[in-house]
Amino acid sequence: YWSVDKFVDKLENYPQIQQAADLLSKNEVVAFPTETVYGLGGNAKDNQAVEKIFAAKGRPSDNPLIIHIAGQIQLTDFVEDISAHAQLLMSRFWPGPLTIIFPLKKGFLSSKATAGLETVAVRMPDHPVAMAILKASGLPIAAPSANRSGKPSPTTALHVKEDLDGRIAGIVDGGPTGVGVESTVIDCTSEIPVILRPGGVTKEQLEEVVGEVHVDPALADEKEAPKSPGMKYRHYAPDAPLYLIDGTREDIQRLINEQHREGRKVGVLTTAENEAFYDADYIYACGERDRLETVASSIYEALRSFNKQDVDLIYSEMFPNEGVGNAIMNRLLKAAGQRVIKG
């Protein structure tokens, strides 16, 4: 476990970064911060390294990993073709929280990293620690979020420790991540790009660059089969059942009162604006409603915090389904197993 100050100069010369890069070169797995969430990195060219990632997370092997790179030049090793849309998106959003799906050029990466698919997901993270490790290792690094499968993604090194202590070779602590939700995944193998997972880059931002953008219908309708394998799993769930309340704070308080009469303890996920309004057993104020990026940056910390509280169930407010609110609502609905109560 090494702590690194992301603001120091020449980070790539720091021994902690070198140690992490050495472990990756030896096909060990190491957690490190990105601007979205902490990732669990491994050499994407090596089957055994990739197997260690799946084993540490308890992740189903049919769910492919995102390949992290430090420079676009690395794409020539394992990407068959870069479309005009993909090029525009890379120029505008890399480094940054956008993962692009390309046609895979076979033979270079471990086929376990791509789960045997004909396509590959790639991103260039916008975080000095992640970039320093990628550069020092010189490898394409497969890195899913560094949580146990099904748990909320980790936004601090402590979250990683809670989930993976003893299961991985190391954790590089670079402080809390910024964006707080994972990268947006966009498929650029079709004529019109398709968002497979909403995330740190919004649909509105993408449309400014490439015009029309489609959204995988599975994101709006749980009966559709998602094109991104990872989107079909239950995810991000706290231990106590979570319900999203489509109503006012008065509706939520009324539901809390009903639960209290039955003798149950209730947690509430709200924002700074409404925090003082509620009478409940545990209240988590997650950012500010009128600045949704502050909600995104603490949503996973919020979900994890309920596991340390004695609550029988959790009620959450809902958020506008626009901008980064797309990603927040997508994660909350998954965490709630799609349970929404009309207030």
Closest alpha carbon to 232 in 243, 215, 219: 219
* Contact in structure between 194 and 187 (CB atoms under 8 Å): yes
Cβ distance 67 to 144 under 8 Å?
A: no
Q: How far is CA 299 from CA 165, 233, 312, 319, 327, in A?
A: 22, 19, 20, 12, 10
Closest distance of CB 197 from Mg ion, Å: 10
Least separation, in Å, of the C-beta of 154 and ligand TXA? Answer: 9
Question: What does the per-residue mask of binding to ligand TXA show for 192-231, with x meaning CB under 6 A?
Answer: ----xx------------------------------xxxx
Range 36-65, binding ligand TXA (CB under 6 A)? 36-37, 39, 63-65
d(CA 154, CA 143): 13
With binding defined as CB under 6 A, does residue 34 bind ligand TXA?
yes
Closest to ligand TXA by CB, 34 vs 270, is 34
Using rule CB under 6 A, residue 327 touches ligand TXA: no
Q: Residue type for 287, please?
A: G
* Helix, coil or strand: residue 130: helix
Pick from 74, 99, 205, 270: which binds ligand TXA (CB under 6 A)? 99
39 binds, among Mg ion, ligand TXA, none (CB under 5 to 8 A by kind): ligand TXA
35 contact, one of Mg ion, ligand TXA, none, CB 5-8 Å limit per kind = none
Q: Three-class SS of residue 258?
A: helix
DSSP state of 150: T
The answer to whether the annotation marks 153 as part of a ligand binding site is yes
- Beta strand pairing call for 214-215 and 242-246: unpaired
Structure tokens at 264: 């149950």
Q: In the complex, what is the shortest distance from the CB of residue 27 to ligand TXA, in angstroms, rounded to a whole number?
A: 19
Instruction: State yes or no: residue 120 binds ligand TXA (CB under 6 A).
Output: yes
Quote the least distance from Cβ 279 to Mg ion, whole Å: 35
Nearest partner of 181 among 71, 282, 303, 62, judged by Cα: 303
Cα gap 277→296, rounded to integer Å: 22
Stretch that binds ligand TXA, among 32-40, 79-87, 168-176, 298-306 (CB under 6 A): 32-40
User: For residue 184, what are its two tokens?
Assistant: 């947006």
Q: Return the residue of 145, 253, 271, 298 that touches Mg ion, per CB under 5 A.
A: 145
User: Would you say 336 is a known binding-site residue?
Assistant: no
CB under 5 to 8 A by kind: which of Mg ion, ligand TXA, none does 175 bind? none
Amino acid at residue number 270: T
**Contacting residue, 143, 164, 172, 324, with ligand TXA by CB under 6 A:** 143
Q: Is 228 in the site for Mg ion (CB under 5 A)?
A: no
Burial (CB count within 10 angstroms: exposed 0-12, middle 13-18, buried 19+), residue 306: buried
Distance, CA of 180 to CA of 327 (rounded, Å): 10
Whether residue 197 is annotated as binding a ligand: the answer is: yes
Q: Would you say 145 is a known binding-site residue?
A: yes
Locus of tokens 């602590």: 173
Query: Does position 185 bind ligand TXA by CB under 6 A?
Result: yes
Give the residue numbers of the binding site for ATP: 59, 63, 119, 145, 153, 197, 236
Binding-site ranges for ligand TXA (CB under 6 A): 34, 36-37, 39, 63-66, 97, 99, 101, 117, 119-121, 123, 125, 143-145, 182-183, 185, 196-197, 228-231
Give the residue numbers of the binding site for L-threonine: 36, 68, 123, 143, 183
